[in-house]
Chains A and B, each alone.
Chain A
Amino acid sequence: MPPMLEVKNISCSYDEARVITDLSLEIRAGEIVAILGANGAGKSTTMRAIAGLLHPEKGSVLFEGEDITNLPASQVIRRGLCYIPEGRRLFSRLTVRENLELGAYTESSREAIDQRLEEVFAMFPILKARSAQRAETMSGGEQQMCAIARGLMSEPRLLMLDEVSLGLMPSLVEKVFETVVEIRRKGVTILIVEQMVQEALEIADRGYVLQTGKLVTSGTARELLDSDEIRKAYMGM
């Protein structure tokens, strides 16, 4: 069976500056895969290129065997690939409920939307309590839950999470990672970008390590956790 997502030799630049060079990776259905690396390694750029927010100069992105390299972001989501960007990016002056409704913007059936709402409310009961509240009035952790729930509202087959733990207190970070595992259990394939390398590798099956826009190593989570090089470079051990 071919991989669910195949990134083949992509290169991306911002304003002439090369950010990613000749990067390839693949994700198979049902996996949790982590992209790791220091700040500026090109992790988010990779995600943005897959999501269609920017288009690589070279290389291609295949999702479920179809070329999505040059599709705009608003089309990529229709294929079942959802990107939750860094910093939550909620629609701050809309209510929680309206944010979630927009997460299912590509779905036109009212019943389907209501059913998905029920599912995400079951997963995040706090959002149900907050549903009439403006998104900006919630705490950071609640906003992160809302961002994840909004992503799930599109019923993606592949969910890409960018720095979901950023700015959260440790107990919430743990909860977010538990949530990610729970989402995978429901059959969603997951690609995460994380700076909390150890925590990410504990839930991931495999990982890719980037440095200044290039792939330096990849392997199973176990291999990466056991690698002295990785431990020294990214975990401060």
Chain B
Amino acid sequence: MGNFLQVLIDGLLNGLLYALVAAGLSLIWGVMDVINFAHGEFLMVAMYLSYWLGFLLDIDPFISWIAGGIFLFLLGAVTYRLIIKNSLGKAAMAPLLATFGLSMLLKNFCMNVFTPNFRLLSGNWLEGRTIAFGGAIVPLPQLVTALFAFAVLGVLYWMLKKTRLGWAIQATAMDKEAAELMGIDTERIYLLVFGMGGACVGIAGSLMTSYLAVYPEVGGLFSLIAFVVVALGGFGSIPGALLAALLIGLVESFSGFYIAAVVKYVAVFAVYLGVILLRPRGLFGW
């Protein structure tokens, strides 16, 4: 029973983190029909940012997530301006290949500058701290990161559903031309959405630095999981991404513990294939 609860908690905590990583991808896809292949590398950039802020300036990840969010918002906005904007309306593959190129650039840049070594930030506020919960041990860095992720998703969802800006974003996603007739500057909405997608993954990356090592390839697995989450939850749906991410987190932790650690990603992708075969638009797709 103790094991079961432990595995359940691990799965949920990971799932919440995956949800925040995937939310930005889902938002950008939902509004602009653009797949950002550099999403994992955005995460990696935020991790390096928080790592160096922690290592050089002694700023804890639970503070530097603000810097991560802002920096990645700007990186997202600049990416939109310089790369996405010019590739929209061209061949369907153009934005995809362009962001793929960006991901290679970012990865290899970090490889060169920071070496391929793993770097784990030490001396964090919550490092090694745990709380006991019904026989399970809950590591605090993971718990706080997961709660942050949930809160950021809540704010994002509230913004989309309840504010004028959120309605304008949804309107732009549904009918761009009609949105322009309302006076909505859809160019600015796109810029903002790309920035917000960056900010989500930036906050996630910064927080993760409190317990995970950063290296140039770290984005690969996370972006793969994010793609699975987005497709599974239904493109553009934030609640869908949350539930799909929790499902993925649980499948990962249960299969890793009860079957074998090496098969956990086999199980994750098997579930993904199963759902997509039965329901191609995902669990909550539009």
Residues of A within 8 A of B182 (CB): 74, 77, 102-103, 105-106, 150, 154
Q: Is A91 in contact with chain B by the CB < 8 A criterion?
A: yes
For residues 155 through 202 of chain B, which have their beta carbon under 8 Å from a beta carbon of chain A? 164, 167-168, 170-171, 174-175, 177-186
User: How many angstroms from the CA of A131 to the CA of B175 in the assembled complex?
Assistant: 20
Residues of A within 8 A of B167 (CB): 91, 94, 98, 101-102
Q: Are A91 and B183 in contact (CB under 8 A)?
A: no
Q: Give the nearest-CB partner of B180 in chain A.
A: A73
User: How many angstroms from the CA of A92 to the CA of B178 in the assembled complex?
Assistant: 11
The verdict on A94 contacting B170 (CB below 8 Å), with A51-B181, A53-B181, A103-B182 known, is yes
Q: Are B174 and A92 in contact (CB under 8 A)?
A: yes
Q: Give the nearest-CB partner of A89 in chain B.
A: B178
User: How many angstroms from the CA of A124 to the CA of B168 in the assembled complex?
Assistant: 24
Residues of B within 8 A of A103 (CB): 182
Q: Are B181 and A78 in contact (CB under 8 A)?
A: no
Residues of B within 8 A of A74 (CB): 180-186
Q: Are B175 and A78 in contact (CB under 8 A)?
A: no
User: How many angstroms from the CA of A231 to the CA of B178 in the assembled complex?
Assistant: 34
Q: Label chain B's interface by main secondary structure.
A: helix
Query: CB-CB contacts of A75-117 with B at 8 A, as 1s and 0s?
Result: 1011000110100011111100010011101100000000000
Residues of B within 8 A of A78 (CB): 183
Residues of B within 8 A of A93 (CB): 170, 174, 286
Residue among B171, B174, B183 with most chain A CB within 10 A: B183
* Interface residue tally on A, bucketed by range: 20 to 34
Contact partner of B183 among A85, A90, A105, CB < 8 A? A105
User: How many angstroms from the CA of A37 to the CA of B179 in the assembled complex?
Assistant: 28
Q: Give the nearest-CB partner of B174 in chain A.
A: A91
Residues of A within 8 A of B168 (CB): 102, 105
User: Distance (Å) between the CB of B84 and the closest chain A CB?
Assistant: 19
User: Distance (Å) between the CB of A164 and the closest chain B CB?
Assistant: 15
Q: Is A125 in contact with chain B by the CB < 8 A criterion?
A: no
Q: Are B175 and A89 in contact (CB under 8 A)?
A: yes
Residue among B170, B177, B181, B183 with most chain A CB within 10 A: B181
Q: Give the nearest-CB partner of A82 in chain B.
A: B181
Q: Are A106 and B183 in contact (CB under 8 A)?
A: yes
Query: CB-CB contacts of B11-36 with A at 8 A, as 1s and 0s?
Result: 00000000000000000000000000
Q: Are A102 and B184 in contact (CB under 8 A)?
A: yes
User: Distance (Å) between the CB of A83 and the closest chain B CB?
Assistant: 6
Q: Is A72 in contact with chain B by the CB < 8 A criterion?
A: yes
Residues of B within 8 A of A90 (CB): 178
Q: Give the nearest-CB partner of A48 in chain B.
A: B177
User: How many angstroms from the CA of A94 to the CA of B163 in the assembled complex?
Assistant: 12
Q: Are A85 and B178 in contact (CB under 8 A)?
A: yes
User: How many angstroms from the CA of A154 to the CA of B183 in the assembled complex?
Assistant: 9
Residues of B within 8 A of A75 (CB): 183
User: How many angstroms from the CA of A75 to the CA of B187 in the assembled complex?
Assistant: 13
User: How many angstroms from the CA of A51 to the CA of B181 in the assembled complex?
Assistant: 8
The verdict on A91 contacting B171 (CB below 8 Å), with A74-B186, A105-B164 known, is yes
Contact partner of B177 among A53, A105, A106, CB < 8 A? A53
User: How many angstroms from the CA of A84 to the CA of B182 in the assembled complex?
Assistant: 10
User: Distance (Å) between the CB of B179 and the closest chain A CB?
Assistant: 8
Q: Give the nearest-CB partner of A95 in chain B.
A: B167
Q: Give the nearest-CB partner of B177 in chain A.
A: A53
Q: Are A53 and B180 in contact (CB under 8 A)?
A: yes
Contact partner of A77 among B177, B181, B186, B286, CB < 8 A? B181
Q: Which residues of B contact A (CB under 8 A)?
A: 164, 167-168, 170-171, 174-175, 177-186, 286
Given A94-B174, A106-B183, output 12 extra A-B contacts at Cβ < 8 Å: A53-B181, A72-B185, A74-B181, A74-B183, A74-B185, A74-B186, A77-B183, A89-B175, A93-B174, A105-B182, A106-B182, A150-B182
What are 24 residue pairs bridging A and B, where the CB atoms are less than 8 Å apart in the complex?
Answer: A53-B177, A53-B181, A72-B180, A73-B177, A73-B181, A74-B184, A75-B183, A77-B181, A77-B182, A85-B178, A89-B177, A89-B178, A89-B181, A91-B171, A91-B175, A91-B178, A92-B174, A102-B164, A102-B171, A103-B182, A105-B182, A106-B182, A150-B182, A154-B182
